[in-house]
Amino acid sequence: MALLIFITVVLVVVAIAKIMRSHELATKLNGDQEDFVSLSEIKTQGFLYVLFGVILFTLIGVQMYAWGKYILPSSASVHGDEIDNLFDVTMNLILVTFFITHTVMFAFIYKYYQKKGQKAFWFPHNNKLEMAWTIIPAIVLLSLITYGLSTWSDVMYQESTKDSVKLEVVAEQFKWTVRYSGKDRELGKVNFSTITGSNALGIMTAASVDSSLVDTRKQIAGLERSVKELDSLVEHGWSGKEDELSDAESKLSAFKANERRLLKFQKEHAKDAAYYRGSEDDVIVRDTLYLAKDRMAEFTFRSKDVLHSAYFPHFRAQMNCVPGQKTYFTFTPKYTSEEMKEVAASEGKNFVLFELVCNKICGASHYKMRFPIVVLSQKDFDARVATYKTFGDEFAGK
């Protein structure tokens, strides 16, 4: 099939080339000038330009009208209104400029197409015009940039409030996990060396450090056995085992470094309950991100592997999740999920669910990184989070 299409395309191209060539030859035989364009042809071109302009504007208008409903509904966060205003101002400026300049362009092409007895006007330079089209765009752009920067600082630097929700969003290939600070309103310490099967976020408590040490030592014992066996195979001339051996050796040294780290935590903080305070009552939620209406959400973001980006389209917020460092963002939801349905419906837009999506192509299953967000009233929010076990209880298997 593909070959057939290919042959057809080639034949069509050859046919067009042949037709053009025969047209050329015929023109030559008739003694006509090859590059002569008649006045009536120029008139047709001028008319076609205007027609093109009208079709272009009509299509733009139709698209804006027909697809407007797919644009996000009004912002669901307090700061989002500022972002929307910035967007609207910029977009309106661009649209007005576009329609004016393009209308003038199409109109002038038509007005000044070549006519009999009409001479072109020689107009090489005008200082005033040069100044005008340099200074006006410069002022407009500077104003837009200043407006954008002030919006940015308003959005990014917000004072923490007394009743804010402190939470952490952890990204990894290919899922999100949420951790709330619990009753003490403090997110407990985390460290990668305490990550195990039962502590995927690496939260540090006295118990999780102990358990990670047990785990690490098991790994070390296993690796030491492998290294010994591989070593003796290599020594006896078993070819092809060298890579496996060096692999096992580097893993072993990594686990030993982890053991040292964990021993240091044990030694320094064994009797220091304050060090781990904040972790025990943290609450991990794996299926939904709950937020409270009118209560500021103070996010910390982490990534366990590659760059991800936490994008909250309805709240006009996005922040990169960077392996090896924490990033922060703050916003205050202003509608519950139920209220948002009414807001969207009143604007003729479709709304099912708030969602958090990954906005960095982070691997083969990137598309799976969608996470539902439910905004509840403050009372319902507190009640919902209270139904989850604290990390301390969860880890102890209670």
Q: Residues in the site for Cu ion, rule: CB under 5 A?
A: 308, 358, 362, 369
Report the nearest approach of Cu ion to the CB of residue 318 (Å).
12
Nearer to Cu ion, 6 or 367 (CB): 367
Residue 144's CB is within 10 A of a number of other CB atoms, namely 14
Nearer to Cu ion, 283 or 362 (CB): 362
Report the nearest approach of Cu ion to the CB of residue 364 (Å).
11
Report the nearest approach of Cu ion to the CB of residue 311 (Å).
10
- What is the C-alpha separation between 274 and 342, in angstroms, rounded? 46
Report the nearest approach of Cu ion to the CB of residue 302 (Å).
13
Give burial (CB, 10 Å; 0-12/13-18/19+) of 36: exposed
DSSP 77: B
267, amino acid identity:
K
Nearer to Cu ion, 69 or 286 (CB): 286
Nearer to Cu ion, 308 or 334 (CB): 308
Nearer to Cu ion, 176 or 265 (CB): 176
* Among 362, 380, 327, CA closest to 169: 327
| Helix runs in the chain, H state only | 2-30, 39-67, 80-111, 127-156, 206-235, 242-269, 273-276, 337-346, 378-386, 391-395
Report the nearest approach of Cu ion to the CB of residue 362 (Å).
3
Nearer to Cu ion, 144 or 200 (CB): 200
Report the nearest approach of Cu ion to the CB of residue 358 (Å).
3
Nearer to Cu ion, 203 or 369 (CB): 369
Report the nearest approach of Cu ion to the CB of residue 283 (Å).
23
Read off the tokens for 248.
């096992």
Report the nearest approach of Cu ion to the CB of residue 313 (Å).
15
By three-state DSSP, how is residue 349 classified? coil
DSSP 189: P
Q: Is 126 left (phi over 0), alpha (psi -120 to 50) or beta?
A: beta
Q: How far is CA 388 from CA 175, 180, 281, in A?
A: 19, 10, 11
Locate tokens 């205003």: which residue? 85
Nearer to Cu ion, 255 or 371 (CB): 371
Helix axes 127-156, 80-111, angle to 10 degrees: 160
